[in-house]
């Protein structure tokens, strides 16, 4: 080993991100409820676009993503020039850290926030600052208290993952207006489409120069396997991100499939309605078993158990039944299990299995 070859400061402090498990050794026909995937998959238009894209595999993709950016702008009534597309919303988060944070700068996020916030901060040598939540909900006052002249980025997922909770537009506005002048507020809207009538904070962005939003095609659009995301914000910030974005970061297949998915909003509405129906059913079924959860605005529920031992034992029991959910100890919630809202059969099956675990007949 050559001790003279060393990575940049902070990189070795990164704990490798682990996604939700997809397999159980020795078990066939596993029901995966660990990664918040859309049980319906993508819409037919997206499937068709994906197949057609195979005829252009020898062609380089467009570097400006014009078609997809215009589709996003048309649907959400945005300025296409202020839309940026990336490899999932993860890449937009990474670009923000690369563009605006560095050595000794601080990146603020909440204690149960998405793990990529910490990872992206450490990767650029910045200092991750974790702020307490209030009853598993973003605490604006705590965030503002944590900010100072070194704060460069503040990440808030709304709705949050893995809690499913969200804060009001008034609270987001108060946060944006209270930040230090050099700080950017990043609204992570990965689950925004699951909230009826919610714009993800677009109105707040339009009126300010310090707010950016990230979104993804991995959840309600059912395209997690293709890794496509987008962001929107002030032109000056988007211009910076485009300067460091790889020119061919998205393939023709990604661009064409995502554009088709974006233009099928009827499918999105169908998925949102079915998710709301089964989310309420699952939360109520678990509550009756003595397993509470906060009101979730996403496509999962955060099931709370009496202890970390009980949560782990329940997870082990579910795996024996061929059911995969997500342990969230890495999100500082060791006594909880995050359960994706699947189709009706999956929701009923996981509720029945937890009833068996709890000894309820």
Instruction: With beta carbons less than 8 A apart as the criterion, state whether 55 and 48 touch.
Output: no
198-213: b or e for each residue (b if 16 or more CB lie within 10 Å)?
A: bbbbbebbeebebbbb
Fold of the CATH domain 44-263: 3.40.640
| Tens-place pLDDT, residues 89-111 | 999 999 999 999 999 999 999 99
pLDDT at 83: 98
Instruction: With beta carbons less than 8 A apart as the criterion, state whether 34 and 238 touch.
Output: no
CA distances from 340 to 41, 103, 161, 219, 358 (A): 14, 37, 11, 11, 20
Instruction: With beta carbons less than 8 A apart as the criterion, state whether 212 and 186 touch.
Output: yes
Instruction: With beta carbons less than 8 A apart as the criterion, state whether 161 and 191 touch.
Output: yes
Cis peptide before 162 (omega within 30 of 0): yes
CA distances from 148 to 103, 143, 151, 210 (A): 15, 10, 5, 15
Domain residue spans in the chain?
Answer: 19-41+266-358, 44-263
Q: Does domain 19-41+266-358 have CATH number 3.40.50.1820?
A: no
DSSP code of residue 18:
-
pLDDT at 11: 77
Residue 9 has pLDDT above 90, yes or no: no
pLDDT at 223: 98
| Tens-place pLDDT, residues 162-221 | 999 999 999 999 999 999 999 999 999 999 999 999 999 999 999 899 999 999 999 999
Task: Indicate the pTM of the whole model.
Answer: 0.93
pLDDT confidence tier of residue 360, bands split at 50, 70 and 90: low
Residue 132 has pLDDT above 90, yes or no: yes
pLDDT at 3: 75
């Amino acid at each position: 080993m050559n001790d003279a070859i060393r990575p940049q400061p902070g990189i070795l402090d990164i704990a490798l991100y682990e996604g939700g498990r997809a397999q159980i050794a020795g078990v066939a026909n596993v029901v995966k409820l660990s990664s918040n995937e859309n049980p319906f998959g993508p819409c037919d238009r997206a499937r068709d676009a994906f197949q057609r894209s195979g005829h252009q595999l020898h062609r380089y993709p467009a570097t400006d993503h014009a078609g997809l950016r215009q589709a996003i702008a048309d649907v959400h009534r945005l300025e296409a020039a202020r839309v940026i597309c990336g490899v999932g919303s993860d890449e937009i988060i990474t670009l923000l850290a690369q563009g605006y944070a560095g050595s000794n700068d601080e990146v603020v996020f909440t204690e149960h926030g998405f793990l990529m916030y910490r990872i992206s901060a450490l990767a650029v040598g910045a200092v991750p600052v974790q702020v307490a939540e209030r009853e598993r909900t973003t605490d604006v006052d705590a965030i503002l208290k944590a900010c100072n002249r070194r704060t460069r980025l503040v990440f808030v997922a709304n709705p949050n993952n893995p809690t499913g909770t969200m804060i009001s537009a008034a609270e987001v506005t108060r946060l944006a207006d209270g930040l230090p002048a050099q700080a950017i507020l990043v609204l992570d809207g990965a689950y925004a489409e699951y909230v009826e009538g919610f714009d993800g904070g677009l109105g707040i962005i339009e009126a300010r120069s310090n707010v950016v939003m990230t979104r993804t095609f991995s959840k309600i659009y059912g395209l997690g396997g293709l890794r496509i995301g987008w962001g929107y914000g002030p032109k000056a910030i988007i211009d910076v991100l485009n300067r460091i974005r790889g020119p061919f970061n998205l393939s023709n297949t990604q661009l064409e499939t995502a554009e088709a998915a974006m233009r099928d909003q009827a499918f999105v509405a169908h998925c949102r309605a079915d998710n709301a129906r089964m989310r309420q059913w699952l939360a109520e079924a678990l509550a009756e078993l003595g397993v509470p959860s906060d009101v979730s605005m996403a496509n999962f529920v955060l099931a709370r158990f009496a202890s970390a031992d009980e949560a782990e034992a329940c997870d082990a029991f579910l795996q024996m039944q061929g059911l995969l959910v997500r342990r969230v100890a890495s999100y500082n919630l060791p006594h909880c299990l995050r359960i994706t809202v699947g189709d009706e059969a999956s929701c009923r099956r996981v509720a029945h299995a937890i009833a068996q675990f709890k000894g309820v007949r």
